Amino acid sequence: MCGIVGYIGARNSQEVLLDGLSKLEYRGYDSAGIAVFTNEGLQIRKAQGRLANLATRLEDEPLAGGVGIGHTRWATHGKPSDENSHPHTDATMKFSVVHNGIIENYMELKEELMAQGVPFISETDTEVISHLIAREYDGDIVKAVQRAITYIRGAFALGVLTEYEPDRLVAVRCASPLVIGIGEGENFIGSDIPAILQYTRRVYILNDNEMAVLTKEAVELMTIEGNSISREMIVVDWDAMTAEKGGYDHFMLKEIHEQPKAYRDTMRGRLQEGLSGVKLTELKVLTNERLREIRNVHIVACGTAYHAGLVGRTLIEQAIRIPVETDVASEYRYRNPIITPETLVIVVSQSGETADTLAALREAKRCGAAVLAITNVVGSSVAREADDTIVTWAGPEIAVASTKAYTSQLIAFMLLSLYWAEQTGRMGAAELRHQLAAMEALPEQVESILTQADELKRVAEEMAAHDNLFFIGRGVDYAVAMEGSLKLKEISYIHSEAYAAGELKHGTLALIEEGIPVIALVTQSSLVEKMISNIKEVKARGGVVYAVTDKAHAELVSKAVDGTFVLPTTLAHLSPALSVIPLQLISYYASLARGNDVDKPRNLAKSVTVE
């Protein structure tokens, strides 16, 4: 996600920037850096790791000056390192840029600039922006920025300074958030309101494709084409804690609501124009040739990531028609799995540091398998040790109960399976376009589900009164049922079990008695009749069934159950990306109803780095 901050005024900007970055550190802490106009010109300090490292560096080598920009990084392009830290500069060091987002066409721009003799020092996508601005500069920084951004595609919020015009700070927003803070004789920019809240409560929220030019005394707002705009100033009345959570009561709720963005970001730059295919340029070892050699796949992960792997199994088996097994990482090594050089082992870990997953990865490599990582953290241990990595661009996840990281893992599996099918000639252009169009529609469909949170709150409050609860489903619905059950257990502490609906009668049905709540997932056309039979079995024993189904099946299903939540319709194998959302919200509200600490459930930790 990265956080950016900027200041122009009479204070010592170093302090304002450090303070702002401390509020933004939740957005990433791979590295941090600031650029400040000093008596010796534009000076930069950077430090890898947490903000405290930068603060220590600045104690030894402070920067004095009233104009500056700062950045806290969550790497997307290029590992966490000093060179890849922001602010980035051009070759003359006269221009400085902080960036939040992804430049999709940076490779071609980099090649073009290098052919023009421009030297690059980092692996980031961001660096092209500073070189482009320098190239376009002819005495007016605003015009140079406007011209430079016509060359770039992707998502970006920028803060830009140039030594040639030390009394101006330029800010741009194109699909990454940015706010402008208005002070007395001073002005601010920030990725979000908490970054500047200590100094001002008066803000302008920039919309996409808008920019701002800040001086000490004034802020000018305009479109990126340079047309002047007027905007109502907002006076923020949040307290600082609420502001950090973006106005939500908990990080988990904020992260649930960030899922449409996480889906879009994870797909960003990976769908070919006209939906003609999938681009996974990050796959270097897994060439088409290597993919053709693969005879079987092992997906290995823990907890929620394991549940994403269960969906991944279906996606790959359907698209490629080779056997896929999904294993819990802590079991994998000890069952002496049959791993050959023709096996692809896919390890999935939000943090990329999960000890059991890392151990499984090493075992797979020892046996000569190709190893692909799916992780949310660039430069993490699994990303470094795997042959190739697909990074999910969900942004840092703070709540212990994973939501947006899980669903972004689903998106990564969808992209991988379609890419693989396309590269090995298993899927024709028309089918591919059909599937990609359905994927592209998912973020908006999630948005429509999120508007119905009140209904789920009501259901959750009823369920919170019970001590036992069951989830049932078939096919990918069963995999989602397992995730729904885990989420509920993690944060509400209600005992729940997920069952393959056809398996209930082989034992668990004995636990169904009058009033026991059962959540049934029913989204698969080919299984809907079987599911209704299983629901009837539960109802006959007194169970109270709440169904999560989709528009196509709602009429039929609603007749068999006590309550129904209706999802928008998507392709059968994409449905987990929608059906899990109401389950996340039910868990959240059940936890709230029970008075639990939603973001920090008892006995658990965010990243499990022990076996």
Active site residue 2: yes
- Among all residues, whose Cβ is closest to ligand HGA? 2
Let me know if 185 is exposed, middle or buried by CB neighbors in 10 A (0-12, 13-18, 19+). Answer: exposed
> Which of 70, 303 has the CB closer to ligand HGA?
70
Cis amide prior to 177 (ω within 30 degrees)? no
Give the nearest distance from C-beta 170 to ligand HGA in angstroms.
Answer: 18
> Which of 79, 600 has the CB closer to ligand HGA?
79
Choose which of 74, 251, 470, 471 interacts with ligand HGA (CB under 6 A). Answer: 74
**Using rule CB under 6 A, residue 266 touches ligand HGA:** no
Residue 109 contacts residue 132 (beta carbons within 8 Å):
yes
**What's the angle, vertex CA 104, arms to CA 99 and CA 106, rounded to 5?**
75
Choose which of 45, 77, 131, 168 interacts with ligand HGA (CB under 6 A). Answer: 77
Active site residue 174: no
Query: For residues 215-224, b (16+ Cβ closer than 10 Å) or e, as one string?
Result: ebeebebeeb
Residue 587: phi, psi to the nearest 5? -60, -45
Judged by CB under 6 A, the stretch of 39-47, 123-131, 253-261, 538-546 that binds ligand HGA is 123-131
Q: In 3D, which of 315, 386, 394, 325 has the Cα closest to residue 353? A: 386
Choose which of 45, 73, 168, 307 interacts with ligand HGA (CB under 6 A). Answer: 73
Choose which of 17, 21, 54, 75 interacts with ligand HGA (CB under 6 A). Answer: 75
**Using rule CB under 6 A, residue 377 touches ligand HGA:** no
Check 79, 94, 530, 606 and give the catalytic one.
606
Give the nearest distance from C-beta 488 to ligand HGA in angstroms.
Answer: 30
**Using rule CB under 6 A, residue 102 touches ligand HGA:** yes
Q: Are strands 154-162 and 169-174 parallel, antiparallel or unpaired?
A: antiparallel
**Using rule CB under 6 A, residue 261 touches ligand HGA:** no
Give the nearest distance from C-beta 33 to ligand HGA in angstroms.
Answer: 11
Residue 161 contacts residue 5 (beta carbons within 8 Å):
no
The DSSP letter of residue 233 is: P
Give the nearest distance from C-beta 124 to ligand HGA in angstroms.
Answer: 4
Strands (E), 178-289: 179-182, 187-190, 202-205, 210-214, 219-223, 234-235
> Which of 113, 346 has the CB closer to ligand HGA?
113
Q: Return d(Cα 47, Cα 80) in angstroms, integer.
A: 10
**Token pair listed for 79:** 């590992």
- Residues whose CB is less than 8 angstroms from the CB of residue 266 and which lie 6 or more positions away in sequence, other chains included: 392, 393, 394, 408, 411, 412, 415
Choose which of 100, 162, 376, 584 interacts with ligand HGA (CB under 6 A). Answer: 100
Choose which of 23, 99, 268, 307 interacts with ligand HGA (CB under 6 A). Answer: 99
Choose which of 13, 76, 304, 534 interacts with ligand HGA (CB under 6 A). Answer: 76
**Using rule CB under 6 A, residue 1 touches ligand HGA:** yes
Residue 326 contacts residue 297 (beta carbons within 8 Å):
no
**Using rule CB under 6 A, residue 101 touches ligand HGA:** yes
Q: Which residues are catalytic?
A: 2, 606
The residues of the shown chain that bind ligand HGA, judged by CB under 6 A, are: 1-2, 73-78, 99-102, 124-126, 395
